[in-house]
Amino acid sequence: DVKVTQSSRYLVKRTGEKVFLECVQDMDHENMFWYRQDPGLGLRLIYFSYDVKMKEKGDIPEGYSVSREKKERFSLILESASTNQTSMYLCASTPGAMGSTEAFFGQGTRLTVV
Amino acid sequence: AQTVTQSQPEMSVQEAETVTLSCTYDTSESDYYLFWYKQPPSRQMILVIRQEAYKQQNATENRFSVNFQKAAKSFSLKISDSQLGDAAMYFCAYRLSANQAGTALIFGKGTTLSVSS
C-alpha cells in the first residue's frame, strides 16, 4: 500500500519561529510537491522537487524554502512564520515516469501561527 | 499558463440522485491528463477518476463518470446514485503529459458536495 506520511497532523507555532514540515514517501518516487490549501483558493503549489537536492519554485514560494537531502524525504521550511501562513499544507509525490499516474498525497498538516 | 476553473463552490444532492460537477480548463497543450480528486473531512485526497486527453472515450469508474469535451476544454464529473459517503470537497486537476521532470498538478478551487438523506 503506497504511503505519503506527513510528520504532524496539527501544529501550532508562534510568529517568528522557524517551522519544519516533514514529508516521507515509501514509493521510491522521484517527484515530490508541497501545496498549500486555503478555503476558496484550492491547492496552490509552493515548491516541488524532481530529484535529490533539486528544487523548483511553484506559484507561491515567498516565505518558504525546501530541502531534499534524501529521495524519500521532502521538507518544507517556514523561515520566520507569520500569521498569513496559517493554512493546511499537503505533500504529494509522483513517480519519475508518470504516464497517467496520479499524485499520492499525505494526510495534511494544519498549521496555525499565533 | 494553464488554469483550472470550478464555477460551483457548493452543490447539494439527495441520496440516490445524480449530480454533475463542472470543470473547465485553459491550456494550449494537446497532450495532458485530467483528474478528479475527492477530499472528505479526513482531509485525505483520494483519486476518483482520470482522463487522458488523447482518449476520446469518457472515463468511468463505477458510479462516477466524466464528460470530457476537449474542444470546449470542459471536464465535468457525474456522480450517479449518490451516497452519503460521497459528501466531500471535489477538486478538478490538470497535468501536462509525462516525461517532464516534476510536472505538477494544477488544481481548481474545489466544489463542496453535500448529500442529504
Query: What are B45-58's pLDDT values in tens digits?
Result: 999 999 999 998 99
The answer to whether B48 and B89 have CB atoms below 8 angstroms apart is no
Task: Give the pLDDT band (50/70/90) at residue A101.
Answer: confident
Residue A38 grid cell? 486555503
| Residue count (chain B) | 117
Answer whether residue A23 shows pLDDT above 90: yes
Decide if pLDDT at B101 tops 80.
no
Summary mean pLDDT of chain A? 93
Helix (H) or strand (E) holding A10: strand A10-13
Instruction: Please say if the pLDDT value at position B100 is more than 70.
Output: no
Round the average pLDDT of chain B to a whole number and report it. 93
Residue A96: pLDDT band (50, 70, 90) is: confident
Query: What residue in B sits closest to A32 (Cα-Cα)?
Result: B102
Q: Per residue in B57-74, pLDDT tens? A: 999 999 999 999 999 999
Q: Which among B43, B51, B95, B106 is the top mutation candidate for probing chain A, defined by the most A β-carbons within 10 Å of its own β-carbon? A: B43
| CA atoms A99, A104, B104, B71: torsion sign | positive
Measured in angstroms, the CA of A101 and the nearest CA of chain B are apart by 9
Angle ∠(B116,B107,B78) on CA atoms, nearest 5: 40
CB B111 within 8 A of CB B13: no
Nearest to B102 among A44, A49, A97 (CB): A49
Predicted confidence (pLDDT) per residue in A48-92, tens digit: 998 898 899 999 999 999 999 999 999 999 999 999 999 999 999
Question: Is there a contact between B45 and A90 if contact means CB atoms under 8 Å apart?
Answer: yes
Q: Would the pLDDT of B102 be above 70?
A: no
| DSSP output for B23-60 | -EEE-S-SSEEEEEEEE-TT---EEEEEEETT--SPPE
A vs B: CB pairs below 8 A: 63
Burial zone of B70 (CB within 10 Å; 0-12 exposed, 13-18 middle, 19+ buried): middle
User: What is the C-alpha separation between B20 and B11, in angstroms, rounded?
Assistant: 9
